[in-house]
A and B are shown apart, each in its own frame.
Chain A
Amino acid sequence: ETGVTQSPTHLIKTRGQQVTLRCSSQSGHNTVSWYQQALGQGPQFIFQYYREEENGRGNFPPRFSGLQFPNYSSELNVNALELDDSALYLCASSTSGGNYGYTFGSGTRLTVV
């Protein structure tokens, strides 16, 4: 068991819609990151939250946003979905701001049609 749970596992949305993906981390994991993994590619960093504040962001537009909650859960929100947003979205959590590596969830497979 990885200790990081993501929901839903699969999702189909229409272009232009909005989506919220959820992640539940292990107790004590004060750092959560979100990654986008397109088919055949390595994961790409979207953003990171540390103690409920965003402390890092990758090359993703503002329509990708997130939240981290005190109960070690977090959300990734994507507005105005585009076809290229179709990917596996991974949540990763860690202690100590991520210095000792991350535990990944199994991901949410998002398909935009």
Chain B
Amino acid sequence: EDQVTQSPEALRLQEGESSSLNCSYTVSGLRGLFWYRQDPGKGPEFLFTLYSAGEEKEKERLKATLTKKESFLHITAPKPEDSATYLCAASSGAGSYQLTFGKGTKLSVIP
């Protein structure tokens, strides 16, 4: 059974204090590793898709990386508006490209 585990569950950072969120996955035949941002009461907002180990993608203060067992979301000099829950999801196997999500990391950035 596919599994995605995110850590930490919650993270409080001072504005400007860089850090990383971890996503470890156990899936049979990874097709894609996805990062989403979710604000309270809203649906997940797409950030990145990574397809193979060694791949990196960047968007503003965010950078996502992928290894054969983990993905990291690096946040450089975060701002209060980066506060949200960050979800990691893996797509694998045959058939539909269903996503297996982790429970998320709730990030709070304090001014």
A residues whose Cβ falls under 8 Å from a Cβ of B = 2, 4, 6, 31, 33, 35, 40-45, 48, 50, 55-56, 58, 90, 92, 94, 97-107, 109
Decide if B96 touches A56 in the complex (CB within 8 Å): yes
| Cβ contact of A43, chosen from B41, B42, B44, B95, cutoff 8 A | B44
In the bound complex, residues from chain A placing their C-beta under 8 Å from that of B32 are 99-101
Q: How far does the alpha carbon of A109 sit from the alpha carbon of B46 in the complex, in Å?
A: 20
Can you show 11 pairs from A to B with CB atoms below 8 A apart?
Answer: A31-B97, A35-B99, A42-B6, A42-B104, A43-B89, A45-B99, A56-B95, A101-B46, A102-B46, A104-B46, A107-B43
Which of under 10, 10 to 19, 20 to 34, or 35 or more describes the interface residues of B? 20 to 34
What residues of A have a CB within 8 angstroms of the CB of B87 in the complex?
42-43
Return the chain B residue nearest A94 by Cβ. Answer: B97
Scoring A4, A101, A103 by chain B CB atoms within 10 A of each residue's CB, the highest score goes to A101
Which residues from 49 to 82 on chain B have a C-beta closer than 8 Å to any C-beta of chain A? Answer: 49
How far in angstroms is the closest Cβ of chain A from B86? 11
Residues of B within 8 A of A56 (CB): 95-96, 98
Contact in complex: A40, B103 (CB < 8 Å): yes
CA distance A35 to B96 in the complex (A): 14
- Cα distance, A29 to B102, chains bound together (Å): 25
